[in-house]
Amino acid sequence: DVKVTQSSRYLVKRTGEKVFLECVQDMDHENMFWYRQDPGLGLRLIYFSYDVKMKEKGDIPEGYSVSREKKERFSLILESASTNQTSMYLCAITSLYGYTFGSGTRLTVV
């Protein structure tokens, strides 16, 4: 089975900090995605990548950037964290049937 690993389950960061969320897959999948999930708003796509060094904006890219230097790793960067970025962040890859998700990172910005 494909494994998608998000490095942190829970993070607490201060306003203005630069935050890195890491996602690693153990297969050779091209497509990787970052979503945030908020009550009442569902899943919203932030960025996705279909190959190394390739990225495309999703529906809500403002305040975020991404990095994909190696195929297995896709990083989400919050340049200057703000309280409205408190959320559940989910990484996903395209698999045979839809997506495989990581366990999620619950980020709180104080």
Partner 1 sequence: QKEVEQDPGPLSVPEGAIVSLNCTYSNSAFQYFMWYRQYSRKGPELLMYTYSSGNKEDGRFTAQVDKSSKYISLFIRDSQPSDSATYLCAMKGQGAQKLVFGQGTRLTINP
Token look-up 């796509």 returns 45
Query: Could you say which residues in the range 24-63 bind partner 1, by CB under 8 A?
Result: 31, 33, 40-43, 45, 48, 50
* Nearest-approach distance from CB 80 to partner 1, in angstroms: 26
How far apart CA 75 and CA 21 sit, in angstroms, is 6
How far apart CA 64 and CA 77 sit, in angstroms, is 6
- 7 in contact with partner 1 (CB under 8 A): no
Name the site residues for partner 1 (rule: CB under 8 A): 4, 6, 9, 31, 33, 40-43, 45, 48, 50, 88, 90, 94, 97-104, 106
